[in-house]
Structure 1
Amino acid sequence: MIAEDSRRFEGIDADFKELANAVHQTPNVVEATNKVGLFGKLEDIQSRLSLCEKALSEYLDTKRLAFPRFDFISSADLLDILSNGTNPQQVEKHLSKLFDNMAKMQFDADEEERPAQSAVGMFSREEEYVPFSQPCECTGQVEVWLNRVLDSMRSTVRHELSEAVTSSEDRPREQWLFDCPAQVALTCTQIWWTSDVGMAFSRLEEGYDNAMKEFHRKQVSQLNTLISILIGHLTLGDRQMVMTICTIDVHARDVVAKMIAHKVENSQAFVWLSQLRHRWDEKDKHCFSNIFDAQFLYSYEYLGNTPRLVITPLTDRCYITLTQSLHLTMSGAPAGPAGTGKTETTKDLGRALGIMVYVFNCSEQMDYKVKSIQDAIRDKKQRFTVMREEVSLCPSVGIFITMNPGYAGRTELPENLKALFRRRNTALS
């Protein structure tokens, strides 16, 4: 089928070149455009070209079904990827469009010191390098080996997180955090915060009235240690990592201070349950994120060494609304004036859960049929039909619309679509 379409396109190309040469030999534009049969030939070429475009579109759709992340890149980029599929080094330039923060890969060298087709690690846009837990063979069809790269990325982040959780028990935090990727150091810090607060609650129940205050003093000491590290000489990557951990630590300190001020002594209190709490399950070797009665499996998307937003009370309320909407198999619609952080808050929640977040403009095609995705998740299906195509279902998917209506060209959502999204007003009161 592909060979047939290729021959058809070559025939169109030859006919068009023939017409172009004939026009070139007739300098007079009136004579050139009024030749007998010219209009019919152009119509025939247009008709055959439409058939080729349709066949090409159907071919690209089969590739998008095989590797769904192709849906979020242009057809031109996809064609470039497919044409260079047997040369991973040529596909590298498109990795940043397919993954959250994988800019390139490190390849093994062959006997002649040339890059082979076995990837052994990945680089972020910030030039952070993380070796794969197992080499990844980039051979065969491009959509197949990109799926292998995706699996290698996730298994590597999971492996690094498992190693960091174990090693962090033996050394002070300011030492081990420089031995692991920035994303892992930050996530592990959040895991131990959840664990330490849980231990403080347990001690409170045993009668140690100052348990939470002692932990708060420990937090202040850890934060001061990080600040002293920032004053010293650090590489750009290490400085960014420490600053990001400081940002999250400040929020963690404020949460504990608030619980002390409100004399919270029970781990079931609203102040604590409303926080996004990470924990490591030693049995399953998985990281989970909890908030109220919702639990999410960490998705292990490699995020690199990127900064995180300052967490404010409004951020906390947005997190509660958006996570509960996911838990109830709904979607979210943060609303408010431009510049209030709707999109960035949604992206930051994705980073907290280790999920890839795609941002794109909403078109007329985004209609009530998004409900088929929610219904499939609710029914725990592995495959379902959407837009007349049967596709595999990723149960962690969520759809969020960030709107600031009132501007030219922007309108309110229709009522039948609005009912599928939980609103969260981001305007400050």
Structure 2
Amino acid sequence: MVWIWASIFLLAVQALAKDYDYISISNPFLNKTPVAVTSFKAFSGHEAEVAAGAQAEQILKAGLDFTGYLKIMDPTAFLSNPGESGIQLGQINFKDWTGIGAELLVTGGVEELDGQVKLQLRLMDTFNTKLLVGKIYSGPTTQIRAMVHRFCAEVAKALTGNFGVFGSKIAFVSTVNGNKEIYSCDFDGFNPRQITHHKSISLSPAWSHDGQWLAYVSYAKGKPDIFIKNLRENLGAIVNYKGINISPDWMPGKLNLAATLSFSGDQEIYLLTRKGEIIKRVTKSWGSNVSPKFSPDGRMIAFTSSRSGNPQIYIQGLDSEEAQRVTFTGRYNTSPAWSPDGKKIAYVGIEKNKINIFVISVYPHIGNPVQLTAEQGDNEDPCWSPDGTLIVFKSKRNGGRANLFVMTAAGTDQRRLLSMPGLQSEPDWSGDTGF
């Protein structure tokens, strides 16, 4: 457990901090904000303390860099070293930092005793010489990563108004000994953990809004059924109506699901309870209706339908039987994923035999699609981060092998998320599940 001691800094932050001009993370032409992260001050200076500080510094840099809107500055350009001179506001010569173009400064200090550490972390606005965030975290050395990420979340909140991705997880599919199983990992690909052990084909993981439930499809019983699993308690259900039971998605704020069932003969979308009981049928149309995704307010569903002949993206209100077609460019569009602000939908489109990820505005009106990936293998399965700044997806750009990648919502900074054996696909990004 991580203990947070903020009282030391509370009055200082209230007295010195002012509203920072928020970084507009939805701006597709966003320039990264330069931030200097200094080496940690080891207050006692013994070997274990220095090592803990170095570990915390690297985790901090990687976490802030992962956001896509911060640029970690090269320490060789630094004119002073707070790790030696002092990490507090009154000990900083801000001209040393504005002079090299650092708009933000992060300083840290560490105390270590018998496997317990206390981290002091500060975020400062160099041009206004203000303390924006000041926190102290205490706990065992095994919790350094969690402590630093808790601070990164505070940094994100101060800069963007949103706590960001640091308390979130990603569920995904990975091959294991010829089978497909569900895994989860931290937001940045660390700590992958196998969740299912069906020794079969498991697909389409979906997090509930509170991160306690996971729904997924498995062929463990011979045909595609939906398994609903509580990750903390021995609770769950199986949706095994006649025919196929696929593509689950949780309703925001509630423990209801949308899913595609075919017991009626057609592939239609239904609203279900967490026990798999049918609440209502949503779609009533010729053709296949699959891959439902709830809008952030839970009032609408985006889905893929072949009602016009080829697969296209549609949206429909839960209280309506009328669906609105969203995509008109390209003959094959599928796998919709609604942005957290409800204004855009990412999806997969096939053009000229190339499979890529696109994004299209749907509010206040339907816009033109923007292509985010190109000329780097097939790219599929897009899913937004909970703050809307990033998109995780599957790509075959590494020699045709499927791996998970992440990019900004504008399509920049495309990089591999994690490296592990097997093939990975179908990522689903949770909300904040805690540290």
**TM-score using structure 2 length:** 0.28
As a proportion of its length, which structure holds more strand?
2
As a proportion of its length, which structure holds more helix?
1
**TM-score using structure 1 length:** 0.28
